Structure 1
Amino acid sequence: MVKLNIDPKAKALIFDLDGTLADTMPVHFQAYKNILRDYGIEFTPELFGTLAGVPAVDTIRKLNEQFGTHMVPEEVGHFKEGEYEKIMYKMKPVEPVVELVKEYHGRLPMAVGTGGYKRLAWKTLEILGLDKYFEILVSAEDVKHPKPHPETFLKCAELLGVQPEVCQVFEDGDPGIQAATAAGMISTLVTEYYEVTIGKDI
């Protein structure tokens, strides 16, 4: 397995959560699939791939546009999060990224920047035993503009007290990489460091 590296310029590390620290994508996929079946949408791994890192409410809006459905985004988004919470104990850590967190804990300041809800994000970190490594977590409720807008990561940098250009962001999705680039940060795509298992039974 190729080892993830820290950029020599990096003075702070910012991690996306779902698909980056936690291999939650198979769990999110299953939750969407279970919920969207009732609305006549066949949720495929390919479709899910186009929505990586997009908050649930915005995902439902995009699906309405795509399929001509009339789901209430807030309502269906919360149904999906409820379904996810029921099965989230099945998630696994993304080992190469988690190793990095443990290695640099106490050496570089670190934060989590996620498109998920705060309560579930902290619960994810607890399930994986990572909550003790982070004090700063910026979630969907903390920003007006989700990824690919840079606000999530800029807020992380501000709370860390570090300039954006010396923050290294670890991400698994295009919206997150776009957000990091727009924030002027160093970005690292982590998907080449582990096998994605979306679509398989969890």
Structure 2
Amino acid sequence: MHSSTQYGRGQGDEYLNEYTDLQWWDDDLADRFDGLIFDCDGTLSDSMPLHYVAWRDTMSQRGVEFTEERFYSMGGMPTEKIISLLCDEQGVRVDIDATATAKENAFETLMDELQPLEIVCEVAARHRGRLAMAVASGGIRPIVSRQLQQLGIADWFTAVVTSEDTVGHKPEPDAFLRAAELLDVSPARCLVFEDSPLGFEAAVRAGMEFVDVRTKIVR
């Protein structure tokens, strides 16, 4: 039974101990890996429901439908690309930069409700100082940084890679490869924690194993 490290506003041991039979939870990851790379939204932070509310409201105000199912299928994709794809599909013209700003502003108004995804943050806490760790997110740096700060984990990571830092974005492997480079760890010795199909594909293309935090299975 593992003790809980407290951060954010999570539920602590009562929640975490439900998962102690999971392989990637129990394993000493230092036996197999030199670096851990974490997505942010939906992985370290339980932010996806808040992001969806911000997206839904922002796009509906502009006459664009964005279903929850479609939203989750696009996890890890940069904001501007999502807006461009949706508007092209639905024949709606918007100012992409202004719409992206409006969406991020809408999300920021909801951030007081942000919670950590405890099971993943606990893994990071257990390996902090023992393995090199980075964040690789499709989000923009101000939003990612604020989330990490609000959860009290910003200083856990040697590197934070965001959408501004790479030309290619998930499912391209660029963010994960850049994170490995900054950690000075071979991609083959990195384990990725992700929650989206685009992120899983990016990890595979980077030559890294990954954990699907939705099912807690190492692939």
SS class of match (1:93): coil
8 Å Cα contact 2:158/2:183 also seen in 1 = no
Residues 86-127 of structure 1 deviation map (CA, whole Å, 9 limit, x = unaligned): 111211110110000110000100000001111111110011
2:103 corresponds in structure 1 to 80
Separation in 2 of the partners of 1:74 and 1:174?
26
Q: CA deviation at 1:72?
A: 2.5
Q: CA deviation at 1:58?
A: 0.8
Greater length-normalized contact order (CA 8 Å, ≥ 6 residues apart): 1
1:47 partner amino acid: R
1:112 partner amino acid: V
Bigger-Rg structure (1/2): 2
TM-score w.r.t. length of structure 2: 0.84
1:51 corresponds in structure 2 to 74
1:101 partner amino acid: A
Q: CA deviation at 1:65?
A: 2.4
Equivalent of residue 114 in structure 2, options 91, 95, 98: 91
SS class of match (1:179): helix
SS class of match (1:121): helix
Equivalent of residue 140 in structure 1, options 148, 163, 176: 163
Are positions 1:41 and 2:64 aligned together?
A: yes
Q: Percent identity?
A: 36
2:207 corresponds in structure 1 to 184
List runs of 5+ in structure 2 lacking aligned partners: 1-17
Separation in 2 of the partners of 1:133 and 1:178?
25
> What is the root-mean-square deviation in Å for CA atoms of aligned residues?
1.3
1:14 corresponds in structure 2 to 37
Residues 111-159 of structure 1 deviation map (CA, whole Å, 9 limit, x = unaligned): 0000111111111001111112113100011111111100000000000
2:151 partner amino acid: L
Separation in 2 of the partners of 1:72 and 1:175?
26
Q: CA deviation at 1:22?
A: 0.2
List runs of 5+ in structure 1 lacking aligned partners: 194-202
Separation in 1 of the partners of 2:97 and 2:158?
28
Equivalent of residue 122 in structure 1, options 132, 141, 145: 145
2:178 corresponds in structure 1 to 155
SS class of match (2:109): helix
Are positions 1:110 and 2:152 aligned together?
A: no
1:121 partner amino acid: V
TM-score w.r.t. length of structure 1: 0.91
1:126 partner amino acid: Q
Q: What is the 5 A alignment of 1:159-178? A: 159-178=182-201
Report how many residues are paired. 193
SS class of match (2:177): helix
2:66 partner amino acid: F
